[in-house]
Amino acid sequence: MSPSRFLASVKIHPNLVTLVGLLATLMVPVETLRQNWIPAGLWLLGAGFFDVLDGSLARNAGLQGPFGAFWDSTLDRVSEAFVFGGFLLYYGRHQDFSNLLLAFGVCILSLLVSYTRARAEGLGISCEVGILPRPGRVVLLALGLMSGLLSLALWTVGTLSLVTVIQRVHRVWSQT
């Protein structure tokens, strides 16, 4: 039995799973500040698992709805902010201002990837395009944390997020 089917059978609501994922994300900046790279990456992957699980659970339990979609999207942005907040605090503590600015810029781009899709969908335009949606960002950042290659992960996520934003802007432009 899949995890989502099991949770549906015991009447766990997908919105609760979304909240648990957010709470798991709180450990990412804690471990980042401690320079515990592998646990930080594992916490991020674990939180990402909950992000996938909540959608699957909503579908399997027949609990998809407007509020759940809103709740999931909103808490995903908060989770991203926690992760990047950990990077910002880490680089600030180490007075590494070039990487602090990098993390800040990548945070903005990461949020823009999600915003462009949400805004497009608000206009009635399907916008699930782009080379780096949220699951890819989570995996790349987790790998960067676990390997201790934070700057490389940030540069990669930043570059691919910029391309994704451009792809989404182009989609909306071409559809309008």
What does the pLDDT read at residue 150? 97
Domains of the chain: 3-175 (1.20.120.1760)
**Gap between the Cα atoms of 118 and 175, Å rounded:** 15
**Gap between the Cα atoms of 123 and 125, Å rounded:** 6
What does the pLDDT read at residue 4? 85
Torsion of CA 104, 43, 152, 74, to 10 degrees: -40
What does the pLDDT read at residue 164? 98
**Residue bearing tokens 């990412």:** 28
Residue closest to 89 by CA, chosen among 155, 28, 25, 23: 28
- Across 14-23, 51-60, 75-84, least confident range: 51-60
Reply yes or no on whether the pLDDT at 3 is more than 90: no
Task: Reply yes or no on whether 76 is catalytic.
Answer: yes
The model carries a pTM of 0.94
Reply yes or no on whether the pLDDT at 89 is more than 90: yes
**Gap between the Cα atoms of 81 and 77, Å rounded:** 6
pLDDT band at 1 (very low <50, low <70, confident <90, very high): confident
Catalytic residue among 51, 54, 72, 76: 76
